[in-house]
Each structure stands twice: as C-alpha cells, then as structure tokens.
Amino acid sequence: MKEKVQAYIKEIDGFIATTPEDLDEFRIKFLSKKGLIPALFAEMRNVAPENRKEFGAILNNLKNRAQQKINDLKETLESSKDSRKDDVDLSLPANFMEPGSRHPLSVVRNEIIDIFSRIGFSVSEGPEIEDDWHNFSALNFPEEHPARDMQDTFFIEKNPDIALRTHTSSVQVRVMEKEQPPIRSIFPGRVFRNEAISARAHCIFHQVEGLYIDENVSFADLKQTLYYFATELFGKGTKTRFRPSYFPFTEPSAEMDISCFICGGKGCKICKYTGWVEILGCGMVDPNVLENNNIDSNKYTGFAFGMGIERITMLKYQINDIRLFFENDLRFLKQFESAV
Ligand code: DAH
C-alpha cells in the first residue's frame, strides 16, 4: 500500500494538463467514487487497527494533494485562456472606423474666424449668462426697448437682472471694459431668445460679433471690411449693398445685403426674386456706448457688426430648416464630411 501511495504521489506531482478535459480525466482517475484514492481508503479495512491512524493521515494527505493539484491546474488553464483573449491576430483585416465630420455650424464659424483673422481681427469670448448692463444698458438700449421684453429674453427667475444673452454684442462691452483702443476683435458664440421653434427660428442659435475701434475709423472702413468678408465667404464676384437700419448701439446703423450667389442677382427663390439676401447688421459704434465703457468718444470712433451663423450656413448650403442643426441626424450631418 505504501508503494502505491508513493507511486500516486509521483504521478500527481508530475501531471500536466493542457486542456480542461485532461484535468477532468485526472480527477476521475484519482478522486471519483471508483477512483484510485477512494480505493485506497477502502483498503483501510485490511490495515492493522494500531496503524490505521497513521494510514488515515497518509491517505488524507494524498487526497488533499490531488485536490490541490486540480485547483492549481484549473487556475493556470483559466488564466491562459484569458491571456489568449488578448492575443492579436495581425492577419485580420482592420476594423472599419467611420470618420466623423465637423458640424456645419463649426465649419462656417471657423471659416468666418479665418477670414477676419487674415485682416488682423483677434477672437474673444464672453459669458452666456449675462446681466442687464452687458446685454442691454451699456449698449444704449432705452429702458422701454422691446428687446428687453420678457417675450425675447430668458431671465433667471429669481433675479431679473440676470439673463441668457440675447446677442453676442454683450461681448463688445466685456472687451471695452478691459481694453483701450485700438480694438479689433470678433466674438463668436451662442445666444438665446424666447422664441417659438420653427423652420426659420430657434431659441438657441449662434452669432459672430465684430468690433473695430481706433482713431479715425470711418464708415468707409466698415464697408471695405465687410465687402472683403463677403467676397471671401461667398466668392469673388459677390456685390454688397447697405440699407439704413436701426440698432440702439450703432449710429448710423445699416443692414448689409449680398448679391444672390445662387442666381447672380437675376432673382430666384432663395433671394425671393429680389437679387439680394441680407446677411448682417452693422453700424458705427454709438458714442454713448464708447462713453459707457470709458472710451473717449472725441478721440475714438469705431464700427461694429453682427451676423447669425445659422442664417449664413443656411444660405451657403441651401438648408431650409434651422431645426436640422440641432437634431443630430447623421443623414444630415454626413453631408458635410468633406467640408473641414
Ligand atoms: N446684435 C444684433 C442682433 O442680435 C446684431 C448686430 C447689429 C450687431 C448691428 C452689431 C451691429 O454689432 O452693429 O440682431
């Protein structure tokens, strides 16, 4: 019996399993009901009573040894299975990764920034949550101006002095507070208005504001700057025209139209058969606005302009519903893949 135990120990210690099946075979051979080790326990009957205790201990050790071996091998097999998972088959074809694309509003915003930076405009940003001073008062809005009406502005409920900015003109004020002229900057950003959402209007949209203040800045500078901008964005033959308008923060104020780039001015659906499309508001900075911001209006003059990025993008790509910009429908967004 001792020889058997010795032989089994040798076999158990030397056993190697490469598959779970090997291991199961081993378990059956040694530990199952009809296995070798239970058979040894059965032989205890033949052992002299005084030696039984010793043999019992030897057999228990043997049984534990076999069980330990099984546990160890199980662990090894399992961990090698895990590491196989990480193995990389370099001969497999690569996963196809669909490239993303820029959002059309980002494409056009970047283009606008690019054009103005070529003629020396820097870029600044301001907060989306504003106070009455920066959004209205400093910009020369009279107290009773309809834009202050609850209809247009999202106010913070508990504090009517705080609102979501209704235009990026508020950034003009932020910049004038910090810097003295010469100032030559554009301010892209998101704006908010309490409007019903439709194909033409949204309560969230984007604008780019521009501000140029220095000595001797004239309306001619404004016209030339915006003419350059229009021809860069819409193509060389583009014509511009200025119509008188009103904004509280500019005097005189104007709206700029460009000749319709679809029909070349002959008249079509896009320009509503007028040959012209409006793209921005502009004007000479009102001296009150300069004085509100501690800039000497006797020494300095300036011009400002503001445009809606959605509007320009819709014109440029002939998109007829503003809601498409915010719905994240891939069928829409994918069409701008090549426009980086
Ligand atoms: N803030 C105006 C708006 O949201 C746009 C605008 C018009 C900006 C004329 C200007 C400007 O700087 O001079 O409708």
Structure tokens at 213: 């203040």
Decide: pTM greater than 0.85.
no
Using the mean position of ligand 1's atoms as its centre, give its distance from the Cα of residue 168 in Å.
8
Q: Report the candidate in 289, 281, 287, 288 with the shortest Cα–Cα distance to residue 176.
A: 289
Per-residue pLDDT at 136: 95
Which residues have C-beta within 8 Å of that of residue 67, sequence separation ≥ 6? 31
Tell me the average confidence (pLDDT) per consecutive run of 10 residues in the chain, 340 residues long.
88 89 92 92 88 89 93 86 71 83 94 98 98 96 81 85 95 97 98 94 97 98 98 95 96 97 86 94 98 97 98 93 95 77
Output the pLDDT for position 100: 82
Residue nearest to atom 6 of ligand 1 (CA): 306
Structure tokens belonging to residue 184: 């030559």
Contact 187, 167 (CB under 8 A): no
Residue with the smallest CA separation from ligand 1 atom 2 is 306
DSSP characters for 278-315? EEEEEEEEPHHHHHHTT--TTT-EEEEEEEEHHHHHHH
Give the closest residue (by CA) to ligand 1 atom 5: 306
Strands (E), 27-98: none
Quote the ligand 1 centre to 59 CA distance (angstroms). 95
Q: What is the pLDDT, as a whole number, of residue 151? A: 67
